[in-house]
Structure formats: C-alpha cells, structure tokens
Structure 1
C-alpha cells in the first residue's frame, strides 16, 4: 500500500514538473512528511521526535501513561440497581431488624409458640431477578400498599405456610404439604400470619410514609405475574426462622419507584407506641445506634469579609472573628451546634470541655417548636 502511494505521489509531481515529495522517514528524527521549498510559504515542516511518536503509538496500543487506570472501576449489575444511598440503606436494615422482633411477638400471639426470627438480608434488585429466584409453584401473595401505586409481593416457603396453617387449626405445627396453590380456606386461615408480617412493616416505613397494606390475591406462578413490571426496582427483605420448619422463612419485596422520593425527603418522626413500637424495641434500636460514627467539630468563630480581602491575605495578617474571648465555643455534631464549652490543653493536644447545651442549639430548638 505504501509503495502504491509513493508511486502516485511521484507520478503527480512529474506531470506538474515538480520534484517528487520525499516520503521517507529518518530513523533519527522520523519526519512524517517533508514539503518542497516552493510550498513552504504556506506550510511549515512538522517533525516529530522519536519520543513523541512512541507516545502517540502507545495511545493506540492502550499503554499511554496518561490513560486512566481501571483498577477503581466497579462492575455495573443492571439486575441489582443501587437506587438507595448507602446511609439510608443502613438505616433501613436496622428498621427491618426491628420488624423481625415485632413479627416474633405478633407470630407468638397468633401461633402460641416462641419463634426465633431474624433478618437474613436486604437487597435491591429488579423484579424480574426476584421472580427468577422463586420456585414454581410458590406461596405468593400480591399486597396492595396505598399510597404506593405498585403492589408488594410476599413469598412464603411452603414449609412455613403449611406449619402455620396446621398450628392455627389446632395442630402441632406440622409442615407436611406439597408445593401447590393454596385453597381459599387455607389463605383465610393464613391471613392472621400475613397481617402480623404486614403490621411490622408498616412500622418500618412509618418514618417515610403511612402504608395501609391489604391482601389483593395469591399468585403461585411468579413468571405469569403482571401486577409489577419486570424492570421495576424492588427492595427485598428476607427473613429466616431458627429451630422452626427447618430454617424456612419468607421474603417481602417492596416497590422502590413509589418509595425513593419519600426516602430522600422523609420525616424524622419515630413510630409511637400506639402504632406498634414498644419501649423495649426502641431501647434495642438505640443499642444498634450507639456505635455509629458521627462528625464532631468545634467552631471558634466566623467573619464576613470581601473576596478582595481574601485575595489580599498574606502571612502575618490578622482576621477579626465575631466571637468574644469570654464567650463559649460551640461543639458541632454533624454540622449542628449541640454543646457549649471551652478549649483546654492536655499535653500537646487541644481538648474541649463541655459546659452545657449550646445557646445556638437552644435557639434552634425553640424555632423548631
């Protein structure tokens, strides 16, 4: 190909009575193209060095030293979207653990038996992925969740469902029963267990929205379900029993499209006792929070100065702050004033002595009330 191109350039130059272009590349300087002198008035000779050519070639070979490293690039799993920020997800995990304790109490009353129930996991996934993980047939229930437009989907292990039915009918809790669609009578008997599960999750989401769940229908073949779109993101909580029905359990998949906005801007109201959260549960929830790290800082003072003054600052300049030397300093917790006190010294370290609640914190509390 190069030989043919050189021949064409030489032939064209001979027809115009011009010397042929020198297309050879020197090993020392590696010029790309040398232009005849009569054309140098409007074109300048450009010569690349050996290092420049090596750098240029390395780009196409994928070895350019300025290329970004892929070592910190994470894989994208479209079946498991990350729609909930990590901090909010950790809070939801704690609240679902609280739901497990509430369900233990509700199921104890319904079944007359002490059960050990715990949260196995909380996962974000597409509804299509959730359906593919379920056995067919399965013990599934479509749950309307007003004010959410999309319903939730509750799936119980057959061993757990049949053991509950037997227990509610006066038996010992035998899980004998094959995988099949439940009869209307069996669903009616099992409704007391379903209500205990849903009541606990009303408490979980009460901080963000007031749910009023109701059982719509049973669906034993998940792949035929059309009440929820396959591409919808779901938040699935899975629970497991210990020393009951061979470790069986159930899964509740909540629709995220109706919850995301409420998760971002939900209120801070905690459930009241009348709504199912007892003092004991609150105490256990508080025990989980004591090890959570928070950012703490001390505010010495501030000042309002112009951009010009900032640009003119030099070493040795003094900035006058808005705080008197006798005024308490503020200890900020996550950026908000909480305590007042003074700076002291311990060895070569500064320490803060808490004298009481910060006046700024008291003003914020009075404004909020």
Structure 2
C-alpha cells in the first residue's frame, strides 16, 4: 500500500503547519476534498462524485502536506490501524478532518442517503430531538404557541374555505385519512377536502401535479396550504408537530422503504404540518422525488434546532403568500 511509504519515515515530522482553515465555512468551500474509506467502497464514493460541483480524491495515502486540506472518512471503523493513524496524523498536521456524511450535510444542506449505514443512526445522543428532554419540551412549546396563533388566523379563513368547498362539489368539508406518525403509530390526519368525493374509488393513488381529481377550490387551497390548516387539531392532540417530516400513508411507505434506505427512520419524530423538504424541494410524486424529500427529512432530524424550526416556518409563510412549492 502506498501509505506505508510514509508511515515509518521522517517526512511527516518535517511538515510544518502554516495554513489552517480559519473557519468551518472556509473548509466547506474547497473545490477538492480527500476521502478515505475501505477499498471495496471506493466505487460507491466514485458514483457520488458525479453529483457534485467539487472533486473527491479517494484513498490517496501519499499526501504529506495537509495545510488547507479537507480530509473526510467513511466507515473509518473498517479501515486498518495504520490507515486510521494516517487520519490522526492528518488532524495533527492541520487538515480539516470529519466524517464524510456530516461534511456533505453541511455543504449540501441535505443528507446523502446513498452513504447511510446503520452506525449513522445508532448514536442517538447525536440527535438532540430524540435524546434531549429540554429540546423536546421546547419543540412542544413552539408547537402549542404556533398552533394557537395560527388558529386565530385559520378560523375565519377556514369558514370561507368550507363554504366554497360546499358550493363547488358534494361531500364533506373535511377529509380524514390514516397516516403513519411517530413510532409507526397510525392516526387520522385532518384536511380540508381538495379532491372530488370519489377521488379514490379505484384505490390509493399518488397525488400528482395538475391532478384531474383536484377541484378548482382544491387547487387553490393546495397551492396556498390552506388545506392543511385543520391539522392544527392534530397538533393540539399531540399527534403532529408544526414542523417535521410530512406524514405518509402506510400503503405508500411499504412501497417506498423497498427503494429508499432507512425510510421509516422519519417516524422517530412527530410528523409536521410543514417541513424542510416542503420548503426546499418542489412538488413531486415519484420515487425520485420521495428520495430527495427523504434527504431533507433526515437532515432535519439530525440537525434539528428551535432556530431551524423558526426558519422553516418563515419559509412556509413565503410559500403560502406566493403559492410556491407543495
């Protein structure tokens, strides 16, 4: 292995640290990063390279000057003792060293699901939303306050919406549907009806853009998210959060988890009325769209904070006002 050329000689000792990164932000802007992983995973990393605007140099153990270099590792526990020591030396000599998944999280703003493996989920303390009681209480407080304030606006809008729904098409004003929530427990999500009353007479179907089953009023309330307002009730009941992954139907989850690694992990938290995926990714109803939304949902769970919740809420207001996304 090329690494052994340097392991026992004096070259590392002669290298001086002269130019470290001044901030994480600087490390996130590098056009080239160095990635170290088990040899059998090089192809996987190589496929990821095609997706991004920066280069990844994989398993180059000839590097001795680590000034202003980003060094990322992937499944480092499967590296040899010598290879792991190389990464330690890189840290000592000024490199910016961190796991590849966390580096890409920060650089891309979403979690690359192609790189996920079980150890990512086994460090529960890394997910403050799952392990810290104070964080959970703060989130519940934001939910209750947001739901109360939103209900003041939602009540008059809801009355007008209900009248228009009744005038346009026969059927109930509200639409209840079983969705899978936290810990895989099903609950009934409440929405204003936006489709014809017989929309699923042929069985469950993916909603699609320009769906013929959607009524004229339904089209408006879906674009502006008004159809989601009755979910304030789900928030007060503790079944949903104001921000989180959108709840999905079990029939679709069974299909999606065959294609998307760790898809059910989104159920570790309460589903949300709005979420990072909804304000970051345009409307879509394909498997590929579901994969992209899952990337944002996992990022949200991993990096949750009160600040991120508030940021998503403000973005949601922008979506509602300008009718963007879904």
TM-score, normalised to structure 2, is 0.23
Bigger radius of gyration: 1
Larger fraction in strand: 1
Larger fraction in helix: 2
